[in-house]
Amino acid sequence: MPTDIAKASIVPERAPSADAARRILARDGAVLLGGVTSGSSVIDLAKELFGQKLARIEQQFETTKDIDVKEEARISALPADSRGRKPYFYGPSERMIPHNDGFLFTTLAPDYMFLWCERPALPDGGESFVIDGDALVRLLGESPDTADLARFCREVDIDHSDPSSPHQHEAPIARRLPNGRLQIRNHHNIAARPGSREDADARNVQRWQRALCESRDCGPMFRMDAGEAICFDNYRMLHGRDSFDDPGRRVHAFWVWTTEALAIPSGTLDLANPGAVPAQ
């Protein structure tokens, strides 16, 4: 892997104002904001940041140790798909794989999101990381050892479906959308398409996920304090958190769709039944 692969992992800058937040978000793909005291204040922030481009925002879930343990048990009980892939949920004892939120909804995934920290883990644990997927693919392309992997990420369609979702969706890991935005994706169950080149493509999928995890493990992590929220481009950035033990840790996720999103859902998003939501 490139020796500077950790450069793709960033600590988001803390913005003193909404105007500064817009500039930082456009430049870096992620920004930290303080003074967030409630879910309604997250919604107010989104309205201020995105203005007329804001199409939809909603609180999608909250996470605590108890909630995560229950969700881990529920998802672990789901069956494997025809390819042998099992649905997977990262419980509180695990460091997450770098991922994009809403992958179960494929083209309906939010293009931005907020994570609001109501209370961090005490005394430690649950630190966050964000990885600039655009920067990572560029770094891979600059190294002779991984230039072929960068080409694979940009050019070869893979299977982005998940065993818990009925969607069948094939596209490159890194793709340019019709409106010019770049979308770079990862989750636990991405896979090569069946066919004559499946074995070679599967090795490249594994190389991509190793690169993400190396960038995560070699790069910086950061701690969100109570009353802080991170906003990031869910198409460009991959994120996750470290393990934690404190049952009082509480973080809320808000999903945002702007007019630049690939598609906007018209119904309620149900993580237990992701295929039931139509687009507008």
Residue 32 three-state SS: strand
**In the chain, how many H helices and how many E strands?**
6, 12
Residue 153 three-state SS: helix
pLDDT > 60? residue 277 = no
- Categorize the per-residue pLDDT at 131 as very low, low, confident or very high, splitting at 50, 70 and 90: very high
- Categorize the per-residue pLDDT at 1 as very low, low, confident or very high, splitting at 50, 70 and 90: confident
Residue extents of the structural domains in the chain = 5-276
Nearest-angstrom CA–CA distance, 94 and 106: 24
* pLDDT at residue 238, rounded to an integer: 98
Contact 98, 221 (CB under 8 A): no
CATH superfamily of 5-276: Clavaminate synthase-like (3.60.130.10)
pLDDT > 90? residue 48 = yes
Q: CB under 8 Å to 3, separation ≥6 — which residues?
A: none
pLDDT > 70? residue 17 = yes
Which residue shows structure tokens 């109570």? 226
At position 71, the amino acid (one-letter code) is E
Structure tokens at 268: 């309620």
Whether the upstream peptide bond of residue 2 has omega within 30° of 0, thus cis, is no
* pLDDT at residue 270, rounded to an integer: 76
Residue 35 is given by DSSP the state -
pLDDT > 70? residue 40 = yes
pTM (two decimals): 0.94
Closest of 59, 105, 130, 44 to residue 261, by C-alpha: 105
> To the nearest whole percent, how much of the chain has pLDDT over 90?
82
Closest of 129, 130, 131, 155 to residue 141, by C-alpha: 155
Nearest-angstrom CA–CA distance, 158 and 152: 10
* pLDDT at residue 276, rounded to an integer: 54
Nearest-angstrom CA–CA distance, 163 and 84: 9
Which residue shows structure tokens 């139509």? 278
* pLDDT at residue 162, rounded to an integer: 85
For 161-191, how does the pLDDT look when each residue is reduced to its tens digit (9 = 90+)? 888 775 668 999 999 999 999 999 999 999 9
Which residue shows structure tokens 């460091």? 95
- Categorize the per-residue pLDDT at 269 as very low, low, confident or very high, splitting at 50, 70 and 90: confident
Helix, strand, coil share (%) of the chain residues, nearest 5:
30, 25, 45
Quickly list DSSP for 92-145.
TTSPPPPB-TTGGGGGGS-SEEEEEEEE--SSS---EEEEEHHHHHHHHHHSTT
At position 39, the amino acid (one-letter code) is G
For 192-246, how does the pLDDT look when each residue is reduced to its tens digit (9 = 90+)? 999 889 999 999 999 999 999 999 999 999 999 999 999 999 999 999 999 999 9
Structure tokens at 177: 């959308």
